[in-house]
Amino acid sequence: MSNKNVFLEKYFLMTRSEENYLKTIFHLGGGDSKSITTNAIAEQMETKPSSVTDMAKKLSEKGLVDYVRYQGVSLTDAGVKTALSIIRKHRLWEVFLVKKLDFTWDEVHEVAEQLEHIKSEKLIDKIDELLEFPKHDPHGDPIPTKDGKFQERDEKLLSEMPINSQGVCVGVKDSSVPFLKFLDKNKIALGNTIKVLDKEDFDNSLRIQMDGKEMRISHQIAANLYVKKND
Protein backbone atom coordinates (compact mmCIF):
# COMPACT_ATOMS: atom_id res chain seq x y z
CA MET A 1 0.00 0.00 0.00
CA SER A 2 3.04 2.28 -0.23
CA ASN A 3 3.48 5.16 -2.61
CA LYS A 4 5.25 3.10 -5.24
CA ASN A 5 4.51 4.84 -8.44
CA VAL A 6 2.98 8.25 -8.19
CA PHE A 7 2.92 8.71 -11.93
CA LEU A 8 0.96 5.55 -12.52
CA GLU A 9 -1.44 6.23 -9.69
CA LYS A 10 -2.22 9.76 -10.64
CA TYR A 11 -2.36 9.70 -14.39
CA PHE A 12 -2.90 6.21 -15.68
CA LEU A 13 -5.47 4.74 -13.40
CA MET A 14 -8.34 6.96 -14.39
CA THR A 15 -11.86 5.74 -13.79
CA ARG A 16 -14.51 6.03 -16.47
CA SER A 17 -16.24 8.71 -14.44
CA GLU A 18 -13.08 10.78 -14.02
CA GLU A 19 -12.45 10.60 -17.74
CA ASN A 20 -15.97 11.77 -18.51
CA TYR A 21 -15.61 14.74 -16.21
CA LEU A 22 -12.32 15.81 -17.82
CA LYS A 23 -13.81 15.52 -21.28
CA THR A 24 -16.83 17.61 -20.30
CA ILE A 25 -14.71 20.30 -18.66
CA PHE A 26 -12.57 20.50 -21.77
CA HIS A 27 -15.61 20.83 -24.03
CA LEU A 28 -17.03 23.57 -21.85
CA GLY A 29 -13.85 25.53 -22.37
CA GLY A 30 -12.02 24.80 -19.13
CA GLY A 31 -8.83 24.03 -21.01
CA ASP A 32 -8.30 27.69 -21.79
CA SER A 33 -7.55 28.45 -18.14
CA LYS A 34 -11.18 29.57 -17.97
CA SER A 35 -13.02 28.49 -14.87
CA ILE A 36 -16.10 26.35 -15.44
CA THR A 37 -18.84 26.36 -12.82
CA THR A 38 -20.00 23.20 -11.11
CA ASN A 39 -23.51 24.02 -12.22
CA ALA A 40 -22.53 24.11 -15.89
CA ILE A 41 -20.78 20.76 -15.58
CA ALA A 42 -23.71 19.23 -13.72
CA GLU A 43 -26.16 20.39 -16.37
CA GLN A 44 -24.00 19.08 -19.22
CA MET A 45 -23.51 15.70 -17.56
CA GLU A 46 -27.07 15.41 -16.31
CA THR A 47 -25.96 15.01 -12.74
CA LYS A 48 -26.17 17.17 -9.58
CA PRO A 49 -23.86 20.06 -8.68
CA SER A 50 -22.97 18.38 -5.39
CA SER A 51 -21.64 15.37 -7.26
CA VAL A 52 -19.53 17.68 -9.38
CA THR A 53 -18.07 19.28 -6.27
CA ASP A 54 -16.97 15.87 -5.00
CA MET A 55 -15.32 15.01 -8.28
CA ALA A 56 -13.68 18.45 -8.51
CA LYS A 57 -11.92 17.76 -5.23
CA LYS A 58 -10.82 14.33 -6.40
CA LEU A 59 -9.46 15.57 -9.72
CA SER A 60 -7.78 18.46 -7.97
CA GLU A 61 -6.06 15.98 -5.61
CA LYS A 62 -4.76 14.19 -8.68
CA GLY A 63 -3.43 17.39 -10.21
CA LEU A 64 -5.75 17.27 -13.20
CA VAL A 65 -7.79 20.38 -12.45
CA ASP A 66 -7.37 23.62 -10.54
CA TYR A 67 -10.28 23.97 -8.20
CA VAL A 68 -11.12 26.89 -5.95
CA ARG A 69 -14.19 26.60 -3.76
CA TYR A 70 -17.13 28.56 -5.15
CA GLN A 71 -15.03 29.58 -8.16
CA GLY A 72 -15.25 26.54 -10.44
CA VAL A 73 -12.61 24.38 -12.11
CA SER A 74 -10.17 24.58 -15.00
CA LEU A 75 -7.92 21.89 -16.41
CA THR A 76 -4.21 21.82 -15.60
CA ASP A 77 -1.74 20.96 -18.35
CA ALA A 78 -1.93 17.34 -17.28
CA GLY A 79 -5.73 17.56 -17.33
CA VAL A 80 -5.77 18.99 -20.85
CA LYS A 81 -3.43 16.27 -22.03
CA THR A 82 -5.62 13.56 -20.57
CA ALA A 83 -8.81 15.12 -21.94
CA LEU A 84 -7.28 15.35 -25.40
CA SER A 85 -6.26 11.71 -25.33
CA ILE A 86 -9.85 10.71 -24.56
CA ILE A 87 -11.25 13.00 -27.25
CA ARG A 88 -8.69 11.56 -29.67
CA LYS A 89 -9.90 8.06 -28.90
CA HIS A 90 -13.55 9.03 -29.18
CA ARG A 91 -13.10 10.64 -32.58
CA LEU A 92 -10.89 7.90 -34.00
CA TRP A 93 -13.47 5.30 -32.99
CA GLU A 94 -16.16 7.39 -34.68
CA VAL A 95 -14.17 7.37 -37.90
CA PHE A 96 -13.66 3.63 -37.55
CA LEU A 97 -17.36 2.97 -37.07
CA VAL A 98 -18.32 5.03 -40.11
CA LYS A 99 -15.51 4.05 -42.46
CA LYS A 100 -15.03 0.40 -41.61
CA LEU A 101 -18.37 -0.73 -40.22
CA ASP A 102 -20.82 1.43 -42.18
CA PHE A 103 -22.34 3.11 -39.18
CA THR A 104 -24.25 6.25 -40.00
CA TRP A 105 -23.45 9.77 -38.83
CA ASP A 106 -25.92 9.66 -35.97
CA GLU A 107 -25.23 6.16 -34.66
CA VAL A 108 -21.60 6.55 -33.75
CA HIS A 109 -21.66 8.76 -30.70
CA GLU A 110 -23.19 6.36 -28.20
CA VAL A 111 -20.85 3.51 -29.07
CA ALA A 112 -17.76 5.75 -29.24
CA GLU A 113 -18.74 6.98 -25.79
CA GLN A 114 -18.00 3.45 -24.55
CA LEU A 115 -15.01 2.66 -26.76
CA GLU A 116 -13.16 5.81 -25.73
CA HIS A 117 -12.53 4.30 -22.31
CA ILE A 118 -10.70 1.19 -23.53
CA LYS A 119 -7.22 1.23 -22.07
CA SER A 120 -4.62 0.24 -24.64
CA GLU A 121 -2.28 2.67 -26.28
CA LYS A 122 -1.36 0.12 -28.90
CA LEU A 123 -4.99 -0.42 -29.80
CA ILE A 124 -5.75 3.21 -30.57
CA ASP A 125 -2.48 3.71 -32.43
CA LYS A 126 -3.27 0.72 -34.63
CA ILE A 127 -6.80 1.99 -35.26
CA ASP A 128 -5.27 5.34 -36.23
CA GLU A 129 -2.95 3.54 -38.65
CA LEU A 130 -5.75 1.38 -40.08
CA LEU A 131 -7.72 4.55 -40.83
CA GLU A 132 -4.64 6.17 -42.37
CA PHE A 133 -4.33 8.89 -39.75
CA PRO A 134 -7.55 10.83 -40.30
CA LYS A 135 -7.52 14.51 -39.38
CA HIS A 136 -11.23 14.89 -38.68
CA ASP A 137 -14.07 12.81 -37.34
CA PRO A 138 -17.32 12.21 -39.25
CA HIS A 139 -18.76 15.43 -37.82
CA GLY A 140 -15.82 17.47 -39.08
CA ASP A 141 -14.27 17.93 -35.64
CA PRO A 142 -10.47 17.74 -35.58
CA ILE A 143 -8.72 14.69 -34.11
CA PRO A 144 -5.96 15.63 -31.66
CA THR A 145 -2.54 14.21 -32.42
CA LYS A 146 -0.93 11.50 -30.30
CA ASP A 147 1.16 14.10 -28.49
CA GLY A 148 -1.97 16.06 -27.60
CA LYS A 149 -1.88 18.81 -30.18
CA PHE A 150 -5.06 20.22 -31.57
CA GLN A 151 -4.62 21.02 -35.19
CA GLU A 152 -7.54 23.36 -35.63
CA ARG A 153 -7.98 23.94 -39.33
CA ASP A 154 -9.11 27.52 -39.68
CA GLU A 155 -10.92 27.04 -42.95
CA LYS A 156 -13.64 24.50 -43.35
CA LEU A 157 -16.98 23.87 -44.96
CA LEU A 158 -19.93 25.27 -43.07
CA SER A 159 -21.41 21.78 -43.14
CA GLU A 160 -18.44 20.50 -41.14
CA MET A 161 -18.73 23.06 -38.37
CA PRO A 162 -19.83 21.74 -34.97
CA ILE A 163 -22.97 23.05 -33.35
CA ASN A 164 -22.46 26.36 -31.50
CA SER A 165 -19.28 27.20 -33.37
CA GLN A 166 -19.10 30.26 -35.52
CA GLY A 167 -16.93 31.59 -38.30
CA VAL A 168 -16.53 34.18 -40.98
CA CYS A 169 -17.61 33.29 -44.48
CA VAL A 170 -14.46 33.20 -46.61
CA GLY A 171 -15.25 31.41 -49.85
CA VAL A 172 -17.37 29.13 -51.93
CA LYS A 173 -16.67 25.69 -53.30
CA ASP A 174 -19.32 25.70 -55.99
CA SER A 175 -19.00 28.89 -57.94
CA SER A 176 -21.84 28.27 -60.35
CA VAL A 177 -24.23 31.08 -61.21
CA PRO A 178 -27.26 29.52 -59.55
CA PHE A 179 -25.37 29.07 -56.30
CA LEU A 180 -23.99 32.58 -56.22
CA LYS A 181 -27.44 33.94 -57.02
CA PHE A 182 -28.86 32.03 -54.11
CA LEU A 183 -26.24 33.48 -51.77
CA ASP A 184 -26.92 36.96 -53.00
CA LYS A 185 -30.67 36.61 -52.63
CA ASN A 186 -30.25 35.41 -49.04
CA LYS A 187 -27.76 38.16 -48.16
CA ILE A 188 -24.98 35.68 -47.49
CA ALA A 189 -21.78 37.48 -48.37
CA LEU A 190 -18.06 37.03 -47.79
CA GLY A 191 -17.16 38.55 -44.47
CA ASN A 192 -20.43 37.71 -42.75
CA THR A 193 -20.23 35.97 -39.40
CA ILE A 194 -22.28 32.77 -39.23
CA LYS A 195 -23.07 30.79 -36.13
CA VAL A 196 -24.31 27.18 -36.33
CA LEU A 197 -27.26 26.89 -33.95
CA ASP A 198 -28.47 23.39 -34.71
CA LYS A 199 -28.23 20.52 -37.13
CA GLU A 200 -31.16 18.44 -38.28
CA ASP A 201 -30.17 14.79 -38.38
CA PHE A 202 -32.93 13.95 -40.84
CA ASP A 203 -31.72 15.97 -43.81
CA ASN A 204 -28.50 17.49 -42.44
CA SER A 205 -29.94 20.97 -42.81
CA LEU A 206 -28.61 23.73 -40.55
CA ARG A 207 -30.21 26.40 -38.42
CA ILE A 208 -27.82 29.33 -38.46
CA GLN A 209 -27.61 32.84 -37.10
CA MET A 210 -26.23 35.62 -39.30
CA ASP A 211 -26.33 39.36 -38.62
CA GLY A 212 -28.52 38.71 -35.63
CA LYS A 213 -31.24 36.86 -37.53
CA GLU A 214 -31.90 33.14 -37.71
CA MET A 215 -32.39 31.10 -40.84
CA ARG A 216 -32.39 27.51 -42.04
CA ILE A 217 -30.22 26.35 -44.92
CA SER A 218 -29.95 22.99 -46.64
CA HIS A 219 -26.98 20.68 -46.43
CA GLN A 220 -26.23 21.27 -50.09
CA ILE A 221 -25.71 24.94 -49.46
CA ALA A 222 -23.68 24.44 -46.28
CA ALA A 223 -21.45 21.91 -48.01
CA ASN A 224 -20.38 24.53 -50.52
CA LEU A 225 -19.54 27.39 -48.21
CA TYR A 226 -16.09 27.79 -46.69
CA VAL A 227 -15.90 29.52 -43.34
CA LYS A 228 -12.97 30.52 -41.19
CA LYS A 229 -13.54 29.43 -37.64
CA ASN A 230 -12.96 32.17 -35.11
CA ASP A 231 -13.95 30.94 -31.67
Binding site for DNA (CB under 7 A): 15-18, 37-40, 47-58, 67, 69-72
101 Cα distance to chain centroid: 22
User: How far is the C-alpha of 47 from the C-alpha of 106, rounded, in Å?
Assistant: 24
Closer residue to DNA in complex, CB, 5/39: 39
From candidates 107, 131, 172, 193, binder to a second copy by CB under 8 A = 107
Q: Can you list the alpha helix ranges (DSSP code H) found in 102-162? A: 108-115, 121-130
**What are the residues whose beta carbons fall under 8 Å from the beta carbon of 2, sequence distance 6 or more?**
none
34, 100, 153, 216: residue in contact with a second copy (rule CB under 8 A): 100
Name residue 198's beta-bridge partners: 207
34: contact with a second copy by CB under 8 A:
no
* Min dist. Cβ of residue 7 to DNA (A): 17
CA atoms of 83 and 77, how far apart (whole Å): 10
* CA 49/CA 70 separation, integer angstroms: 11
Of 33, 61, 77, 119, which one interacts with a second copy (CB under 8 A)? Answer: 119
Separation between Cα atoms, residue 135 and residue 153, nearest integer Å: 9
71 lies in the binding site for a second copy (CB under 8 A): no
Residue 46 sits in the site that holds a second copy (CB under 8 A): no
Residue closer to a second copy by CB (options 100, 216) is 100
Partner whose footprint covers residue 197, from DNA, a second copy, none (CB < 5 to 8 Å by kind) = none
Minimum CB–partner distance for residue 107 and a second copy (Å): 7
Partner from DNA, a second copy, none binding residue 219, C-beta < 5-8 Å depending on class: none
Instruction: Point out which span in 55-63, 110-118, 144-152, 206-214 binds a second copy (CB under 8 A).
Output: 110-118
Please give the Cα distance from 93 to 79 (Å, whole number): 21
> 104 touches which of DNA, a second copy, none (CB within 5 to 8 A by kind)?
none
Site track 120-149 with a second copy (rule: CB under 8 A), x = hit: x-xx--xx--x-------------------
Which residue, among 137, 48, 46, has the nearest Cα to 97 in the 3D structure? 137
Strand partners, 75: 65
Bridge-partner residues for 226, per DSSP?
157, 171
Residue 120 interacting partner from DNA, a second copy, none (CB closer than 5 to 8 Å by kind):
a second copy
We find the least distance from the C-beta atom of residue 100 to a second copy, in angstroms, to be 6
- Count the alpha carbons within 13 Å of 57 in the hemisphere toward its beta carbon: 7
Query: Which residues contact residue 139 at a Cβ distance below 8 angstroms, ignoring those fewer than 6 apart?
Result: 94, 105, 160, 162
- Which residues would be at the binding site for a second copy (CB under 8 A)? 97, 100-103, 107, 110-111, 114-115, 118-120, 122-123, 126-127, 130
